[in-house]
Amino acid sequence: MENFTPISALIGGGLIGLASGLYLLLNGRIAGISGILGGLLTPTKGGSAVFERLAFVIGLIVGPFILMNATEIEAQSVVTSSLPVIIVAGLLVGLGTTIGSGCTSGHGICGLSRFSLRSLVATLSFMAAGFVTVLVTSHLMGGM
């Protein structure tokens, strides 16, 4: 329970909800990362949509660095997997978001808040797949 941080989790969740709600209200689009990144890699609309998506992705990458430099908050994640495992995992996530027509942010945050049954099924599928993956890689295979 040493990593249990309900206050920061509540604040972070509230900020994610606020940001995704504002994105939907102001742009009329779902703040699903796979859709935004996919639309950036294969643009179909005019320049403003590309700029909006690019700004969103840059904000995701640069935002944490700005926060860490502006405050005393330090990064608490350490990647211990090998590069080939990370690449395969990224490709599987990309395949999954294509098959599932969205990612955890699109379905789990935006879809569930709109009471989408499709998003509920997708989110339950994501969670079940995650549970099985942790079980297999951490407990049955001894960690990777």
Residue 120 covered by a domain: yes
Given a cut of 90, is residue 117 above it in pLDDT? yes
Task: Give 45's pLDDT tier (boundaries 50, 70, 90).
Answer: low
Given a cut of 60, is residue 32 above it in pLDDT? yes
Residue 125 covered by a domain: yes
pTM of the model: 0.70
Task: Give 12's pLDDT tier (boundaries 50, 70, 90).
Answer: confident
Residue 47 covered by a domain: no
Residue-range definition of the domain harbouring residue 125: 79-144
Q: How far is CA 50 from the centre of its chain?
A: 19
Residue 7 covered by a domain: no
Residue 65 covered by a domain: no
Contact status, residue 112 vs residue 40, Cβ threshold 8 Å? no
Q: Other CB atoms closer than 10 Å to residue 36's CB: what's the count? A: 24
Given a cut of 90, is residue 62 above it in pLDDT? yes
What pLDDT was estimated at residue 88? 92
What's the mean per-residue pLDDT of the chain?
85
Residue 67 covered by a domain: no
User: Helix, strand, or coil here: 46?
Assistant: coil
Range 38-54 burial, b when 16+ CB lie within 10 A, else e: bbbeeeeeeeebeebbe
Given a cut of 70, is residue 103 above it in pLDDT? yes
How far, in Å, CA of 106 to CA of 33, rounded?
7
Residue 121 covered by a domain: yes
Furthest CA-CA distance within the chain: 49
Matching residue, tokens 């955890």: 104
Number of domains in the chain: 1
Q: What does the block give as tokens for 38?
A: 């996919």
Residue 129 covered by a domain: yes
Given a cut of 80, is residue 2 above it in pLDDT? no
What pLDDT was estimated at residue 143? 60
Quote the percentage of the chain above a pLDDT of 90: 15
What pLDDT was estimated at residue 39? 82
